[in-house]
């Protein structure tokens, strides 16, 4: 016959029991999407009109219940909401970030807890579950690719002693050489008379030589 009934149901029974499965999605302002499956050749305007009106009533009811819990979008992401940021690095820096056998990038991932994807063009996508994780990864990357400034003083650790001077690790993973002549204002016969491995020292960047960083201890107070 011509009799029909439109049932509002979000459980899925209409897939088995009805002639029409009609899904309506939207906001309080209107419909955003429709999806229909029917087992008959077509439906009347009357059925469509009732289905849309009934869907609006159901949609409004659900939205009202949702608004009781959260009546507006959050201005900030939740603390555990996945997020990502993109930074750009020079192509020459890609190898430094990845490291030998991927050792450096693995260390960054372990320390920050973020996921990192680097393209050949220098785009670095950093994803994490918190802003702190992403920022930690960015800071670690910057510590690798940033260049120290001539004239600036940094704190570092003596990592290797040679007859001609001492290598100091500073500015993240950067190493520089303090020549024996730059250890002290006084004459130095042995490097170990002034510094030893593991010592924490302040050094001043005094220049670059073929990509190597030249440091001074005696010029720190100058």
Give Dmax (Cα) for the chain: 111
Tell me if 41 is assigned to some domain: yes
pLDDT at 190 over 60: yes
Tell me if 110 sits within 8 A of 128, measured CB to CB: no
Residues 113-150 as b or e (16 or more Cβ within 10 Å = b): ebbbebeeeeebebbbbbeebbebbbebbeebbeebee
pLDDT of the residue at 1? 53
- Same-domain check for residues 201 and 172: yes
Tell me if 125 is assigned to some domain: yes
Tell me if 78 is assigned to some domain: no
- Same-domain check for residues 139 and 94: yes
Q: 128 lies in which domain range?
A: 83-145
CATH no. for residue 117?
3.30.1370.10
CATH no. for residue 159?
2.40.50.140
Tell me if 209 is assigned to some domain: yes
pLDDT range class, residue 5, cuts 50, 70, 90 = confident
pLDDT of the residue at 174? 79
Tell me if 222 is assigned to some domain: no
**Measured at the alpha carbon of residue 6, what is the angle toward residues 3 and 9, in degrees to the nearest 5?**
150
Tell me if 7 is assigned to some domain: no
pLDDT one-digit tens code per residue, 197-212: 999 999 999 999 887 8
Q: What is this structure's pTM?
A: 0.49
pLDDT at 14 over 60: no
- Same-domain check for residues 102 and 126: yes
pLDDT one-digit tens code per residue, 166-175: 999 987 777 8
pLDDT one-digit tens code per residue, 41-93: 888 999 999 999 999 999 999 999 999 988 777 777 777 788 999 999 999 89
**Measured at the alpha carbon of residue 75, what is the angle toward residues 123 and 82, in degrees to the nearest 5?**
45
| Burial status of residue 18 (CB atoms within 10 A of its CB: 0-12, 13-18, 19 or more) | middle
Compute the distance between CA of residue 179 and CA of residue 218 in angstroms, rounded to an integer: 10
Tell me if 179 is assigned to some domain: yes
pLDDT of the residue at 13? 63
Tell me if 9 is assigned to some domain: no
């Amino acid at each position: 016959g011509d009799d029909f009934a439109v049932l509002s149901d979000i459980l899925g029974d209409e897939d088995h029991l009805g002639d029409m499965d009609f899904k309506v999605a939207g906001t309080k302002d209107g419909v955003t999407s429709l999806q229909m499956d029917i087992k008959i050749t077509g439906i009347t305007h009357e059925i469509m009109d009732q289905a849309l009106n009934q869907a609006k009533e159901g949609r409004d009811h659900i939205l009202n219940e949702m608004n009781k819990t959260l009546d507006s979008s959050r201005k900030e992401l939740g603390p555990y909401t996945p997020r990502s940021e993109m930074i750009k690095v020079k192509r020459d820096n890609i190898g430094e970030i990845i490291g030998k056998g991927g050792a450096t990038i693995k260390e960054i991932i372990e320390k920050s807890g973020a996921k990192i994807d680097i393209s050949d063009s220098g785009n670095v996508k950093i994803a994490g579950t918190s802003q702190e994780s992403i920022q930690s990864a960015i800071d670690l990357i910057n510590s690798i690719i940033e260049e120290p400034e001539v004239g600036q003083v940094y704190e570092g650790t003596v990592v290797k002693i040679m007859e001609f001077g001492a290598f100091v690790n500073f500015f993240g993973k950067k190493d520089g050489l303090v020549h024996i002549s730059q250890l002290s204002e006084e004459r130095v016969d042995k490097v170990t008379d002034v510094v030893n491995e593991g010592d924490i020292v302040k050094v001043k960047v005094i220049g670059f030589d073929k990509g190597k960083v030249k440091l001074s201890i005696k010029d720190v107070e100058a």
